[in-house]
Chains A and B, each alone.
Chain A
Amino acid sequence: EVQLVESGGGLVQPGGSLRLSCAASGFAFSSYSMNWVRQAPGKGLEWVSYISSTSSTIYYADSVKGRFTISRDNAKNSLYLQMNSLRDEDTAVYYCARGRAAAVVTPNDYWGQGTLVTVSS
């Protein structure tokens, strides 16, 4: 069974940093691309970042470019999102989601339960 479990969310002040993790199990993690998608309270889905299976290709939404860094450790079956210079508008539930292929952008077939990030003073 495919499982994605996010962790690392919490309350952080504006300008602060946070590192999210996503532990994957039940599939060959190193063979799939991964994404982070977020959802602000009461709002729609917003794609945040993509990383290919070997980390050779990475994309970011304009709203987080230069502040967020996606990475993965295939040996640990883990995906990460380093979030710096956090703003109020980054407050959201952050989902880790699996792509359907290794090295091209595809839809997300499995999603974690999400971790809540709250940016507030």
Chain B
Amino acid sequence: DIQMTQSPSSLSASVGDRVTITCRASQGISNYLAWYQQKPGKVPKFLIYGASTLQSGVPSRFSGSGSGTDFTLTISGLQPEDVATYYCQKYYSAPLAFGGGTKVEIK
């Protein structure tokens, strides 16, 4: 099965900073990659699909890129409401594996 590895596992940044989270697949998955945001105590929220397409209503400071095995989620101008854990998920084929998550905090 294809494994998904996220890095870093946690990060702390200042408001307004550019934040980058990396997700790596153990095999190529084309662009079948999604990102989710889970705020503390809340349900996961769908952010991005197709590696780079924002779901409707997601702020434009979020962006995704990558293809094959290496992907990134970027927050351009971190806001206090972005404090959350972010997960990547591959959907190239079953199993629909998630990465381990990246916890984003405000410095």
Interface residues of A in 81-121 (CB under 8 A from B): 95, 100, 105-114
When A50-B94, A105-B96 are in contact, do A45 and B46 touch as well, CB less than 8 Å? no
Total contacts A to B, CB within 8 angstroms?
55
Interface size, B (range): 20 to 34
User: Number of A residues whose C-beta is below 8 Å from B?
Assistant: 22
Q: Which residues of A contact B (CB under 8 A)?
A: 35, 37, 44-47, 50, 59, 61-62, 95, 100, 105-114
A-B contacts besides A44-B99, A45-B101, 20 pairs, CB < 8 Å: A35-B96, A44-B98, A44-B100, A44-B101, A45-B89, A47-B96, A47-B98, A50-B96, A59-B96, A62-B95, A95-B44, A105-B94, A106-B49, A107-B46, A107-B89, A108-B44, A108-B46, A111-B44, A111-B45, A113-B43
